[in-house]
Amino acid sequence: MNIQDIKQRFGIIGSNPLLDRAIDIARQVAPTDLNVLINGESGTGKEVFPQIIHQNSSRKHGQYIAVNCGAIPEGTIDSELFGHEKGSFTGATEARKGYFEVANGGTIFLDEVGELPLATQARLLRILETGEYIKVGSSKVQKTDVRVIAATNINFFKAIEKGKFREDLYYRLNTVPIYLPPLRERKEDIHLLFRKFASDFATKYRMPVIKLTSDAEQILINYYWPGNVRQLKNITEQISIIEKNREINADVLLTYLPNYGVNNLPVLSRNEATQSTIDINERDIFYKVLVDMKKDLNDLKKVVHDIVLASQGQINGISNDDVQIVNRLYNEVAEENELPVTTPSVSVHPVTIHKKADGINLPIEVEESLSLQDKEIDMIKRALKKHKGKRKYAAQELGISERTLYRKINEYKIAE
């Protein structure tokens, strides 16, 4: 069975290369008994792929059971999966077969496998390694021959790092990984899916098919779709039922797209090697940090300039040494944030003090330290004194990070 036949049989719509790649992997791995781990965001259609694998395998005449691990209470998950003996716990009035016993010779699909408790993960690992399990309340070891296909939308590496998922179980499940792209990475498929859903709902509710204007179509394609295909289907159904006008323009469509302006961020392309490990939330935060960082660096120029001016007392200008300090502080912030090092715009004026002699103002030379370190120490001390030793506010006053301020206090041995 080729990719197009599989799409037609299982109702998969789209021609995105990443989607075709996922179907091709499922088709090739189906005749084997290898474990498969399907990774993708919620609403991407992960539940279809275990059926593709099962129906194209030698187990297709055996039992196929789909289990939502996140929907079963922690106290009963072991009983559901592995079964229990009569009287093994309160309410166990009779013995019960678990899913692994019922699915013997077939396929079991563990959806949201990342939600399994650690104790259940250990039991699952034993089945994957030896095919053995023990019912709850029993001491008898039983055997089963089940192919396991798992799916999740969590970041396994973070879960392993936090101790919420066993690393050995992850590698057992991840014999063959399949990655399903989110809808925003399948832009060419979005309008096709909308038209299919619109046609289906028009038939279901016996009403004319809704259509989009060109501007509405662009909004549909550029939306972030956090709920992916499931969200697109739900919105299409809402519009089909509610809107009397069957031609939907941009203004009408926007009323059905929550947080359009907030979530409609640029999308970074990801290669196949890293697609399953990058978290969307981290990407959103990254954009916000960049915007905030740009603003902070622009504010830094003015802040440091004002500090230097305020510290001069009767001096009418800023010396070249002060300008070098400003540049040094600015560049340290830029280096810390891995941004290009630039020089802030600060005007330099001659440094002169006027002394009155017989009614005439005469310029006199000022003995200034040529050490940049001395001037930097003096500025840090003034900032600490102004804010009564509170480093956080002193760092803000100087326009540098707290980490840089701590380092300089230790480096210069400044007493607070």
| 375 neighbors 322 (Cβ within 8 angstroms) | yes
pTM over 0.85, yes/no: no
pLDDT score for 303? 61
DSSP assignment string, 173-232: HTTEEEEPPPGGG-HHHHHHHHHHHHHHHHHHHTSPPPEE-HHHHHHHHHS--TTHHHHH
Task: Verify that 19 and 145 share a domain, yes or no.
Answer: yes
Task: Verify that 111 and 90 share a domain, yes or no.
Answer: yes
Tokens standing for 330?
């600015």
- Rounded to 10 deg, the angle between the 320-336 and 402-412 helix axes is 120
Task: Verify that 11 and 93 share a domain, yes or no.
Answer: yes
Q: Which of 209, 235, 263 is the last residue of a domain?
A: 263
Task: Verify that 324 and 390 share a domain, yes or no.
Answer: yes
Instruction: Report the C-alpha dihedral over residues 195, 198, 199, 201, rounded to 10 degrees.
Output: 160
Q: Which of 212, 235, 263 is the last residue of a domain?
A: 263
Rg (CA), the chain: 33
Task: Verify that 20 and 168 share a domain, yes or no.
Answer: yes
Is 146 part of any domain?
A: yes
Chain centre to alpha carbon of residue 187? 20
How do residues 102-131 score in pLDDT, each as one tens digit? 999 999 999 999 999 999 999 999 999 999
CATH, residue 120: 3.40.50.300
Give the residue numbers spanning the domain of 165.
3-179
Residue 84 in 3-state DSSP?
strand
Tell me how many degrees the CA angle 396-284-282 measures, rounded to the nearest 5.
85
How do residues 125-176 score in pLDDT, each as one tens digit? 999 999 999 999 999 999 999 999 999 998 999 999 999 999 999 999 999 9
Tokens standing for 39?
């990774």
pLDDT score for 313? 43
DSSP assignment string, 346-412: -------EEEEETTEEEEE-------HHHHHHHHHHHHHHHTTT-HHHHHHHHTS-HHHHHHHHHHH
The amino acid occupying position 173 is L
Percent of the chain's residues with pLDDT above 70: 73
C-alpha 202/C-alpha 246 separation (Å) is: 11
Tally the domains of the chain.
3
pLDDT score for 364? 45
How do residues 266-304 score in pLDDT, each as one tens digit? 444 444 434 433 444 454 555 555 556 656 666 665 666
Q: Which of 149, 179, 209 is the last residue of a domain?
A: 179
pLDDT score for 271? 43
Task: Verify that 136 and 23 share a domain, yes or no.
Answer: yes
Task: Verify that 103 and 203 share a domain, yes or no.
Answer: no
Task: Verify that 172 and 188 share a domain, yes or no.
Answer: no
Tell me how many degrees the CA angle 187-193-194 measures, rounded to the nearest 5.
100
Is 93 part of any domain?
A: yes
CATH, residue 235: 1.10.8.60
Task: Verify that 243 and 390 share a domain, yes or no.
Answer: no
Intervals of the chain under pLDDT 50: 265-281, 283, 312-317, 343-357, 361-368
